[in-house]
Chains A and B, each alone.
Chain A
Amino acid sequence: MEQWSESLFNLLGGLGLPQEVSTIIALAVGALVLASVAPVLALVLIWITRKVISRMQDRIGPNRIGPFGLLQTVADALKLLSKEDIRPANADFLSYALAPILSVFGVILTVAVVAIAPGWIGADLNIGVLYLVALGSIGIMAALMAGWSSNNKYALLAGFRVVAQLLSYEIPMVLAMLGPVLWVGSMRLGLITEAQSLNIFGFNLGLGWFVILMPGMALIYLISALAESEQTPFDLLEAESELIAGFHIEYSGMKFAMFFLAQFLNTFFLGAIGVMLFFGGWQGPFVDQLPILGVFYFLIKAFAFYVLVMWIKGTFPRVRVDQMMSFAWKVLVPLVLSLILWQMLAMKLFGPVWLQYVAVLAGNVIAIGIVVNVLTSHFKQEQVRTKRAFGPKSLIGTMQPYAGD
């Protein structure tokens, strides 16, 4: 049992309750705390999104309701609550109602394995990393249910596209997560976070982050996480001009809000997981002496990641769906598999740990360098080809002289 449940259990046992009842109550209290994090977190995330995006667009963003517009999300939630719940005729009632709930369900369960501070984790599952991937499957089913049950051609088509995107980027994401798992030799997120300490003369500097060891993996994870949470540049399914706003066309009111809640929370939690796997989670200087600093470090890193995602959202254009799919299967999957192969070889062929470290780092950098080179030359060639095709020279001889009347 984890530290927090152990202490709660002892507290309740001291009150004289039978063993099983006190276990259940201790776990239920923890679960209640974690489940109530989600709505509060969503408020903060939506506020951050609106402020960051508006600053990117050279405007101020919400600043009237509450100090700095902090209560704007509350106002929006109240408004959405009062909207009519329009259900299309012929919609399949159970799947239609269940899909948004399942979306949020899958995301809230992620909270159970997030390690906020040394020893403070909901449940340090032995299969921590795979558990996170399994929760993605719930999101996939929810999207399919939403698309089908809306009884709308466009919703169905959009549902398919979402699922195709989610499936394509799940493989690079899982394989990128395999990197730290392979290095540490454990799937437990608490252990992976602990392994990112930098011990110099017995003092934990807390800066032995895996992003320094395997930057390529971290980059692949970042890109796949952007695609999994449907953020720019992969948010073509939300684009207003394409497919009329995606698989939640026929949803209104709170159900619609649930899909967006799921998306914001998913972005944040995927970022939090990336922070735990690659950026040290709660590790940082002086975290051994003062464990509460761990919470501070973790939150700073997780929110920094979220702001980074919003920054990307305000900066880059979207990719087309075929570009997105080719990128996943033709670039990311071979790249991440080669990185894994190199890491496996480096870990067995080289004896001393520092040599393995250098080898893995060198392999990552070289692989990313090669891929970037190949991609840039590919796109340059495409640019040249497009220019040549539409340049004036190619039209000579094909144009007819203007026959005036």
Chain B
Amino acid sequence: MLTQYGFILILSAFAFIVPASAVVMGWLLGPKRPDAIKTSTYESGVETIGDTWVQFRAQYYLIGLIFLIFDVEVIFLFPIALAYSQLSLFAVISAITFVLILLLGLLLEWRKGALEWN
């Protein structure tokens, strides 16, 4: 098992080097003539007005939170799927209850309008 992860480690080193070398080559080979207009922020031709910050929209955070909850659920479902053939019917019913509770949560979010995106 560890040799497999050793392989992944070595592959990740190469996977980093390939794009990094491409970017470095691009930086080396291209002309370097920075001037004020080129390096200013792009705002479809107009000058930037004000600080670069974005209005807080709770929707982004909510989607992240709902994703987190379902991610944790998925993490629990995978070992259950692996052990599935040796599970009793009672265990299966418990697993189904688990999923149903979280489906209930999704329904709750839906009804309360947390899934709306305007």
Contact = CB atoms under 8 A, between A and B. Distances in A.
A341 interface: yes
Interface in B17-55: 17-20, 22-23, 25-27, 29-34, 38-44, 48, 52-54
Interface residues of A, number: 89
Interface residues of B, number: 72
Contact of A84 (B19, B30, B41, B116): B30
A299 to B, nearest CB: 21
Interface string B1-20: 10111111011111111111
Contact of B7 (A27, A100, A104): A27
Given A101-B19, A112-B11, A329-B66, A344 B103 contact: no
A81 B16 contact: no
Interface string B82-116: 11110101001001100110110010011000011
A278 B19 CA distance: 31
A164 B8 contact: no
A340 B96 CA distance: 9
B58 to A, nearest CB: 12
Could you say which of A35, A154, A257, A321 has the most chain B C-beta atoms within 10 Å of its C-beta? A35
A23 B6 contact: yes
Nearest to B3: A1
Interface in A133-186: 151-154, 156-157, 160, 163-164, 167-168, 170-171, 174-175, 178, 181-182, 185-186
Contacts of B83: 185
What's the dominant secondary structure at chain A's contact region? Answer: helix
Interface of B is mostly: helix
B52 A31 contact: no
B70 A87 contact: no
B67 to A, nearest CB: 4
B81 A182 contact: yes
Q: Which 9 A-B pairs rank lowest in CB-CB distance, beginning with the nearest?
A: A254-B26, A35-B14, A108-B15, A104-B19, A123-B4, A31-B11, A167-B67, A322-B117, A182-B81
Interface of B: 1, 3-8, 10-20, 22-23, 25-27, 29-34, 38-44, 48, 52-54, 59-60, 63-64, 66-67, 70-71, 74, 77-78, 81-85, 87, 89, 92, 95-96, 99-100, 102-103, 106, 109-110, 115-118
22 contacts: A5-B7, A27-B6, A28-B10, A81-B25, A86-B39, A87-B34, A88-B41, A125-B4, A152-B41, A154-B42, A156-B52, A157-B54, A160-B60, A163-B60, A175-B77, A181-B81, A254-B26, A261-B19, A326-B116, A341-B99, A344-B84, A344-B95
